[in-house]
Structure 1
């Protein structure tokens, strides 16, 4: 499989440099190809990426159908199409074996959201009152967690954007924060005075007490050892809070982003403004937030229709 290794490495370089994809996206695309090469090895098929044909690809898709749901299967096929299109682009091949491969039909998945009351309860579950037995560090971590959730919701950030947010990205005098999103694309997102207050207090009262490790001097949110937070840690914090308030929903950091967009739309914001704040390249992606519930639509009709 040496020929696969070299070409996949070239593909990863292309995704990173030519398409400007983030490291996570590059890893996911490469993993799609890895699934295919694993299948070839499992079945003792010695065939190069330049010679593989549609029949083998169809066999592979059929093989993984039992272990992947339609959405994951569609994602895999999309990844393989990208890989073989790259081979054509770089003149490795003249055609693609993915031409007639059908993508499974999937319904458009509506994002899970939280109500404003549920968000308030989650944040309020982080008790900032210090007990006698508790040290300052534990108090500081709770203050950090509360500030992170406020920032996630008020700015509609992805979890990776939150964990990489820097002190030098804060433009509070102008009322904005600079966000580095997918593909290292930067955007400015408005930040309210309420959230600014939380961040300022966290920096002065909690972050200032940490011994900051080299290379993280500019990182806003730090762990107890003075390093940047991992995505997994933010997931864990949110899941623990959901459990603490008996919230019967499966939520993640992205739920706060979905809620941010939905609540803006429900309160009259236009899609173009939401698109800019979320950093969506296409407004089609933002349109998924048009899934307003029936009750809200009835309110709109009864409020604005001339024959209400």
Structure 2
């Protein structure tokens, strides 16, 4: 799909997962081939206020507290981060100009933090390549 109504007035391409593209195509034949990916029953595009109303309705029906559209952005960025996507890729996909904005959107679960620290407990799979910072530091502490 394409987004044309970014805050900065930029046009940007947003790739879709195959599953999402197939779902959009099934729900609205031709979806994903136009500038407006999501359309209301009357053919007009969804606006942020429509999405907010829809999310509030779904949350109410599920007995959950309401959340706005930005919750979806936080979830999107967080899930990509927890699956190991590069921060710079998440930044581009989220349409953020500033990496700090992206980092504010990424929230890691406690399990992900535990898994990250366990990486330091794992045995090294290979020796550090020549010129690695470890080799450089080790050389600094040897006496000749």
TM-score normalised per structure 2:
0.69
Which position in structure 2 is the counterpart of 1:306? 121
* Structure 1 residue 219, shift from structure 2 partner: 4.2
Which position in structure 2 is the counterpart of 1:84? none
Which position in structure 2 is the counterpart of 1:237? 54
Matches within 5 A, 1:1-308: 177-180=1-4, 181-204=6-29, 219-247=36-64, 249-302=65-118, 304-306=119-121
Q: Root-mean-square deviation (CA), in Å?
A: 2.6
CA–CA separation in structure 1 for the residues paired with 2:97 and 2:106: 17
**CA, structure 1 residues 219+250, in 2 after alignment: closer, same or farther (shift >3 Å)?**
closer
* Structure 1 residue 282, shift from structure 2 partner: 1.0
Match of 2:97, SS state, is: coil
Match of 1:292, SS state, is: coil
TM-score normalised per structure 1:
0.35
2:38–2:46 contact (8 Å) kept in structure 1: yes
2:2–2:36 contact (8 Å) kept in structure 1: no
CA–CA separation in structure 1 for the residues paired with 2:107 and 2:47: 31
Match of 1:251, SS state, is: coil
Which position in structure 2 is the counterpart of 1:106? none
CA deviations 1:258-283 (Å, max 9, x no partner) are: 10000100111111010011111111
1:239–1:251 contact (8 Å) kept in structure 2: yes
1:239–1:252 contact (8 Å) kept in structure 2: yes
1:265–1:289 contact (8 Å) kept in structure 2: no
CA–CA separation in structure 1 for the residues paired with 2:114 and 2:35: 48
Indicate the structure (1 or 2) with the bigger Cα radius of gyration: 1
1:179–1:189 contact (8 Å) kept in structure 2: yes
Which segments of 5 or more consecutive residues in structure 1 lack a partner in the other structure? 1-176, 208-216
**CA, structure 1 residues 299+236, in 2 after alignment: closer, same or farther (shift >3 Å)?**
same
Match of 1:243, SS state, is: helix
CA deviations 1:103-138 (Å, max 9, x no partner) are: xxxxxxxxxxxxxxxxxxxxxxxxxxxxxxxxxxxx
**CA, structure 1 residues 190+183, in 2 after alignment: closer, same or farther (shift >3 Å)?**
same
Instruction: Report the count of equivalent residues.
Output: 120
**CA, structure 1 residues 241+218, in 2 after alignment: closer, same or farther (shift >3 Å)?**
same
Which position in structure 2 is the counterpart of 1:78? none
CA–CA separation in structure 2 for the residues paired with 1:266 and 1:201: 29
CA–CA separation in structure 1 for the residues paired with 2:100 and 2:115: 25
CA–CA separation in structure 2 for the residues paired with 1:204 and 1:307: 49
Match of 2:46, SS state, is: coil
Of Structure 1 and Structure 2, the greater helix share is in: 1
